[in-house]
Structure 1
Amino acid sequence: MALSDADVQKQIKHMMAFIEQEANEKAEEIDAKAEEEFNIEKGRLVQTQRLKIMEYYEKKEKQIEQQKKIQMSNLMNQARLKVLKARDDMISEMLNEARERLATVARDPARYPALMDGLILQGFFQLLETKVTIRCRKQDFQIVQASIQRNVPAYKDAVKTNLEVRIDQDNYLSPEISGGIELYNARGNIKVSNTLESRLDLMAQQMMPEVRVALFGANPNRKFMD
């Protein structure tokens, strides 16, 4: 039985509606899948960027922390250097004051001759020569001459050898020297400096650890006391 035109048109419309429905469903499926893939990719990109940002700021934080440590170390070193300089300045000031007081020793008639005896006799024993030349300040000539007369016999008696001593009147010590003497062997190539300044410098060098402890206290970082 042949279909009428109306039936054909009806079937065509039904097929077109079916095809359109399938197309819509397929489009919706594609859209849903695309949306899902988009969300997955977006999440991946967001996570990747979040990790990059976290790594960036973590790196920055470490750099800032390192810079803070370096800056703190520099500040501590600067402070330590300032403290050390202040201490050195204080010690230098103390030594300068001690040097200024040396002049008063040479002006004391009760102390200076006895001190000169010790400096001269010590110089004899340091040189251990048979001929010695002494240099002194011009104003100390008589004090040194008298001290030589007193101490040469004591030296001879102690070492059992002869000793000739002369005062170098052509080369006196500078008047800026506070006092004391210099002793030379016969050839002049060995010198013993027993000026008041040299004795002060030697004493300061030997006693500097004790002086620092007395002024600033013991160093907590020092392990050995010898």
Structure 2
Amino acid sequence: MEKFKFAIKRYKNDQLRVINDKADREEEFELAKIKNEANNKNEDVFKRMEDNIKVAEKIFKSRKTNECRMSEMKVRFDMVEKIEEDAKAKLKIQKADLPTYRALLKQLIKQGLIKLLEEDVEIRCLREDEALVREVMGGCEREFNEECEVKTKIVVSTQNYLVAADLGGVTLTSLKGRIVCDNTLRARLSYCLQLLLPEIRELLFHDSDLYLAQRKKEKKEADLQRRRAVAENQKH
């Protein structure tokens, strides 16, 4: 009987030890699992933080780059605008030279007549220039009629004068204002500036990063168009 009790007790103890060992292993496994998940979670958190920092750095760098470009573009715009204002001031001074301005008005009127090629033409000018315009328009009309098949008649508008911002020059209209040739000094100056803008930029901003990048882009586009044209010619 004692041996039987001892065997039962030992079996019981063995089972308890097995259960305890299994419980310890399961506990260690769960602890390791929890720790691993925590580590992975921390790694994910740190990875997201690192990615967010990189994105923020890129955004900051891009914003600063754009700010620099906008600042440089504003400087360029202001400098070109300053050139335009200086040119306007010089035009006002040159207008005071009446022989030179008279010859210029004659050229502007004749050019407008050639562009319009109409029989009835109305001229608008500054009120202060009306006498000078009347002085030269007769010769312009006569020379135009001698050189062209169209015979034109010029009148000066006394109801609708140019404004001071036009600087001077003339506007020629026909067909009750439906056809207009703007030969004011303001319009001619704007046209000249547009033609000379590439040279002005080259002169003022030839060492600018933004200008160099723009020139590189323009050259790349021109090369691409040239290659496309060559490819089209080869097809035909």
Identity across the alignment (%):
27
- 1:96 correspondence with 2:92: no
- Aligned equivalents of 1:109 and 1:129: distance in 2? 29
- 1:190 correspondence with 2:179: yes
Shift of 1:191: 2.0
Superimposed CA distance per residue, residues 157-193 of structure 1 (whole angstroms, 9 cap, x where no aligned partner): 3322322112224444345642211112152332222
Shift of 1:212: 2.6
TM-score (norm 2): 0.76
Q: Which residue, 217, 220, 225 being the options, matches 1:221?
A: 217
- Aligned equivalents of 1:24 and 1:184: distance in 2? 119
Alignment-mate amino acid for residue 66 of structure 2: N
Q: Which residue, 39, 42, 54 being the options, matches 1:50?
A: 39
Question: Are the structure 2 counterparts of residues 197 and 35 from structure 1 closer, same or farther at C-alpha, using a change threshold of 3 Å?
Answer: same
TM-score (norm 1): 0.79
Shift of 1:121: 0.8
- Aligned equivalents of 1:113 and 1:224: distance in 2? 45
- Aligned equivalents of 1:138 and 1:52: distance in 2? 82
Question: Is the 8 Å Cα contact of residues 117 and 150 (structure 2) preserved in structure 1?
Answer: no
Q: Which residue, 157, 181, 200 being the options, matches 2:146?
A: 157
Superimposed CA distance per residue, residues 131-175 of structure 1 (whole angstroms, 9 cap, x where no aligned partner): 212122333234323322332233223322322112224444345
Alignment-mate amino acid for residue 63 of structure 1: N
2:106 matched residue in structure 1: 117
Comparing 54-63 with 201-210, greater Cα deviation is found at 201-210
SS of corresponding position for 1:134: strand
Shift of 1:26: 4.3
SS of corresponding position for 1:221: helix
- Aligned equivalents of 1:183 and 1:197: distance in 2? 14
How many residue pairs end up in the alignment?
Answer: 215
- Aligned equivalents of 1:168 and 1:132: distance in 2? 10
- The answer for unaligned runs of 5 or more in structure 1 is 1-10
Question: Is the 8 Å Cα contact of residues 133 and 186 (structure 1) preserved in structure 2?
Answer: no
- The answer for unaligned runs of 5 or more in structure 2 is 226-236
1:63 matched residue in structure 2: 52
Q: Which residue, 200, 204, 211 being the options, matches 1:211?
A: 200
Comparing 65-74 with 112-121, greater Cα deviation is found at 65-74
